[in-house]
Amino acid sequence: MKKAHTLIASTIGLAAIGAGLAGFTSSANEASNAILETSVESVAAESYAVDAVHSTVLFKIRHGGVSNFYGRFNKLNGTIEFDKSDVASSSMSFTIPASSVDTNNKDRDDHVKNAEFFNARQYPEISFESTSISEVSDGVYALSGNLSFHGETKEITADLTEVRTGTFRGKPVMGFEASFSIKRSDYGITKYLAEDLSDNGPLGNTVEITVAIEAVKQ
């Protein structure tokens, strides 16, 4: 009988120890999962700021109906929230001072800034705010959003390519390139435009834009 009591006690003791270990293991797993979830959430919440020194905005427009003319903007600011594992939750926003336009000719720059074109005094900022980002293929996305320019806001969709991610001077960086086109007549800029709104007038209607972005993790 004594042996039976001892066996029962031992069994109960082992069961208690097992339950304790199970509880410990469960707690450890929960703690581990919590750490993992926190880590994932923190990565998803990371933001990047546009490096204005290493980013470029180029534009192309038809001149005289026969040739392409290129210009640029010398300033670009913006932020990027990008989660490759959940692209739909990502976002991008950019601003460009209209007065930073550069056509490699001061007189022409001043003309472009005045009321016949950009009217940079009344509309000092060109801005873009994304509304959606969707993956087309690996590293290639459709970036949609609202472009505000010259007092008008229109929805555009750009082809967005992830160039590369890496480290530069000890900081995580991301590279993107976006390309899209607009009709300047949609934004109320009609100087030197053909009557049929084509690209065959003194100055074309279609403006092709490329935005090359380098962004640094904040």
Q: Class of 47-217 per CATH?
A: mainly beta
Band of pLDDT at residue 116, cut at 50, 70 and 90: very high
Q: Which residues of 150-174 are buried (b: 16+ CB within 10 A; e: fewer)?
A: beeeeebebebbbeeeeeeeeeebb
Contact 129, 93 (CB under 8 A): yes
Q: What is the mean pLDDT of residues 155-164?
A: 98
pLDDT at 112 over 80: yes
Q: How far out from the chain centre does Cα 142 lie?
A: 11
pLDDT digits (tens, 9 = 90+) for 137-146: 999 999 999 9
pLDDT of residue 35: 41
Q: Which residue has the higher pLDDT, 213 or 29?
A: 213
Average pLDDT on 190-218 reads 98
Residues 6+ apart with CB under 8 A from 26: none
pLDDT at 1 over 50: no
CA 204/CA 181 separation, integer angstroms: 12
Boundaries of every domain in the chain: 1-45, 47-217
**Using one digit for the tens of pLDDT, what is the confidence trace for 88-106?**
999 999 999 999 999 999 9
- Average predicted confidence (pLDDT) for the chain: 87
Which comes out higher in pLDDT, residue 40 or 209? 209
* For range 156-164, the mean pLDDT: 98
- pLDDT at residue number 46: 81
pTM of the entire predicted model = 0.78
Instruction: State the average pLDDT over residues 52-68.
Output: 98
Rounded Cα gap, residues 169 and 53, in angstroms: 14
